[in-house]
Amino acid sequence: MPHQWDPERYLTYADERARPFTELLARVRAETPRTVVDLGCGPGNLTVLLARRWPEAQITGIDASPEMVARAPAGEVLFEVADLRDWLAPGSTGAAAPVDVVVSNATLQWVPGHLDLLPALVERVAPGGWLALQVPGNFEEPSHTVRRALAAESPYDAHTAGVAAPAAHDAGTYLRALRALGCTVDAWETTYLHVLHGEDPVFTWISGTSARPTLQALPADLRPGFEGELRRRLREAYPDDGHGVVMQFRRVFVVAQLPLP
């Protein structure tokens, strides 16, 4: 069964998750776009920033999770439940007309083989328009490696094999791929040092994102034991020195502009 997202758990660290979005958006130099699409909009709290940036534009937020879209604020943005791959497919709503700005923040890492989708994404952007994406690049940090190692142990491995797991590329890979498609590309990486507080804060963070498919794949009798051991190992990997837990988080940013005819 596909995993389900929990908007409230996801929004626990809303401020920390918002910072990469705002830094990505700052490098998009579109002045008066008519149409803006946020692919993978989640609960929509960041999509509304697009409406404030471009109040005259038609803003659409698209996400595959009904739970996330149901949490999105009503009003200035149109939200739709759809898989971004379906939106990109020929004959879809996304193919109806070129879009001036397409934003995809912390979403493509959940789409296997998403590098192959870049040509379709570029095709959906109007000449002179903008494509902006951000993906995590921290998959070798303990927040991921500890979970992967535990999930591969018995008795959990019988249930967690093949569950959805995020993956992405470095900035140079995206830059080269988009330059080959004729775009002018600005790509960079930033490593944030998030200072988190509370009980098992790294577990709280990943249980709303990367660890969620693994946790939901486990049967009810195994999940408590897995969670307890995952919490313990994460506490070892991320000790609290009395001033909070420091979680290192690398992110990859790409802003591409299409050429004019």
According to the model, what pLDDT value does residue 97 have?
79
Q: What is the pTM of this model?
A: 0.94
Residue 3 pLDDT more than 80? Answer: no
Q: What is the pLDDT of residues 44-84, one digit of tens each?
A: 999 999 999 999 999 999 999 999 999 999 888 999 999 99
| Domain boundary assignment for the chain | 7-257
- Helix or strand (DSSP H, E) at 213: helix 212-217
According to the model, what pLDDT value does residue 93 have?
61
According to the model, what pLDDT value does residue 95 have?
58
According to the model, what pLDDT value does residue 220 have?
96
Confidence band of 1 (pLDDT split at 50, 70, 90): very low
Confidence band of 259 (pLDDT split at 50, 70, 90): very high
- Provide the token pair at 215: 């946790």
- CATH among 3.30.200.20, 3.40.50.300, 3.40.50.2300, 3.40.50.150 for 7-257: 3.40.50.150
- Provide the token pair at 83: 């898989």
The beta strand positions in the chain, using DSSP E, are 35-39, 58-63, 78-81, 99-105, 125-136, 184-196, 245-257
Can the peptide bond before residue 155 be classed as cis, meaning omega within 30 degrees of 0?
Answer: yes
Stretch 75-95: mean pLDDT: 85
Q: What is the pLDDT of residues 191-242, one digit of tens each?
A: 999 999 999 999 999 999 999 999 999 999 999 999 999 999 999 999 999 9
Confidence band of 96 (pLDDT split at 50, 70, 90): low
